[in-house]
Structure 1
């Protein structure tokens, strides 16, 4: 029996909560964006939203079927958080970019209309050397130093941000309001696999990129529906290491991490995963920020009890306060590249148990999260 009593819990009036003491980094954030932030904070006292990347765009063996998600096919509810990506907004033909913008806009708007939450990743194709977002030796250029203020490609980067800003300002719900989104640019920046990664730019260059991106979208493009999320990979082991490329509290709304390695990919190192999440959660609590487990998962779900024996066990650690946890995508053609169960998968019973746990929140549990 699904949790009927949650309706009262999640119908939160933002102005009545004792949530964050400070506002978002955008003093002109829309009422809906501020309400989302405060409600996520309040819910994180005793719950965590479940998220799935590209949940509404495609799944295991299908794509572009309106209203479908693998998560809903298994549980009866879409995930509470739906992940989308801005990757194909730039670096392709104008026609392709426009088509991608419209497709993602619909996913975002539909999710908002249903009462779900959207998080936005940006696998940004290299704007200087061309090619994709992954770093390739002898091919990729360290684009960060070129696109920050003073760099030779800075004006080009401003044009890219104008496209994103225009898209954000024109992505609206059925109520005519712009849709609040958790914007998570330049993720996993402490690794070497992306062109914005640690070996390819200095700390000063990275923080300059972050600050300019936020300020241009917020102040020049008047984008007031973004919650800005800072998320390295799992390479840190202390608060100091976590903050090594942190641009400052005035530039970040949410802190998180991506961690596949400790959660089963490289063996089960749950104590390490908990330690890192505690660093994030404690920093967020002390600095009036949201915290999240921004990416994780076990490819192919080879451990059919992973949801409860691993993920939920970590999430429910005493003292952790996480707004959401997001697992990666289910590829539409690959027989092995998936992170959420689908009908017929042997891990379905364990995932349904995870769904039914009072700690987890899915889309059907969320009522008035934007009010």
Structure 2
């Protein structure tokens, strides 16, 4: 058995979460991901166990498991249903997501949380919509007219996070990835709609309020721009500082997509992210990617795997986007009969990739 599967196999010192009061399981997850990423990368899929191709809400099901026999090692979920809706709907969303996250923990898997945060000061949802959306960041930061509203939303997230108890009675750790792809303009928190200073202020307040005021001690905080950088300096343009970030990542569809396939460019960007993480004793991850409908029958091994292996980077996980339950074209992981299944099985069997079935005591010492 390979060393990264054994939690006590090395005395190498790794960094710790930015939360000095992080739970033991959160610290262990952080350090085990660092160890594993020296030789392996966990595979993740957004909303994998909530729904998939032609199904919704089935117990212990995922399209990835239907193909490989194992769930993804990382399950992506979202806080999108935690605000901007009637209270009854919000409470139902929280209950459903609580069960999903606890089930993943009890199986030995890992949860990462995105936040498609519906604009709290205007209509338009989480996307920026001209003539409808307001640039909400400046309203939410300390001194802004919606700051108290924002604190109430965070209070709801904090209470929920502290209610997540596994079958072992422990709080469930999660990787929290707010305000992703902030260097693009499609979300209301995007670069065009807020200043660098206000964005950094929002990030720091969010972490500080959850961690220090609400005492949420089971989050690992992930910073993930889109792929609009070619240097470390460009990558760090809106970085809030090392004391406010546990994991550095990147979302990259464009370099590995249908209209553009540049493995060298994707690998260069992953190296920038990984090198920074190594230098600062942080985690790195390929936080979002994928090819919609996966028409390329060798995309998994010849594009995705090659891009991750090319530069000897250290990545805790790679996550592909969701499989919609109704859309015939919106899916990013294979399901039984999909044309990329044979190649995905090669990807699954490659020693570099880990799935849930491969994880052994990732929350232990």
Same fold, TM exceeding 0.5?
yes
> Following the alignment from structure 1 to structure 2, what is the Cα–Cα distance between the partners of residues 166 and 17?
36
Q: Is the 2:268–2:311 Cα contact (8 Å) retained in structure 1?
A: no
Q: State the secondary structure of the residue aligned to 1:263.
A: coil
Contact 1:187 1:230 in 2 (8 A): yes
- What is the distance in 1 between the residues matched to 2:220 and 2:310? 26
**Distance (whole Å) between structure 1 residues aligned to residue 319 and residue 4 of structure 2:** 22
Q: Structure 1 residue runs of 4+, over 4 Å off?
A: none
Asked whether 1:271 is paired with 2:287, we answer no
Supply the distance in 1 between the matched residues of 2:267 and 2:180 (Cα, whole angstroms): 20
1:165 to 158, 163, 166: 158
Contact persistence 2:175–2:221 (CA under 8 A) = yes
User: Is the contact made by 1:17 and 1:42 (CA closer than 8 Å) also made in structure 2?
Assistant: no
- The alpha-carbon deviation at position 17 of structure 1 amounts to 3.8
Is 1:355 the counterpart of 2:336 in the alignment?
no
Question: How many equivalent pairs are there?
Answer: 364
Verify: 1:184 aligned to 2:195, yes or no: no
For residue 287 of structure 1, the aligned residue among 268, 280, 285 is 280
* 1:9 to partner: Cα distance: 3.8
1:82 is matched with which residue? 75
Question: 1:245: which partner in 2?
Answer: 238
Which residue is equivalent to 1:312? 305
Distance (Å, rounded) in 1 between the aligned partners of 2:197 and 2:362? 37
Alignment of 1:1-371 (within 5 A): 5-6=1-2, 9-13=4-8, 16-20=10-14, 22-371=15-364
Q: TM-score, normalised by structure 1?
A: 0.97
Give the TM-score, by structure 2 length: 0.98
Contact 1:126–1:143 at 8 Å: present in 2 too? yes
Distance 1:105 1:48 in 2: 26
Work out the CA distance in 2 between the residues paired with 1:9 and 1:182. 20
Farther off after superposition, 278-287 or 310-319:
310-319
Query: Which ranges in structure 1 are unaligned for 5 or more consecutive residues?
Result: none
The whole-number CA distance in structure 2 between the counterparts of 1:11 and 1:32 is 16
Q: Distance in 2 between matches of 1:23 and 1:287?
A: 11
Query: How far apart, in 2, do the equivalents of 1:318 and 1:208 lie?
Result: 34
The Cα of 1:267 is off from its aligned counterpart by 1.0
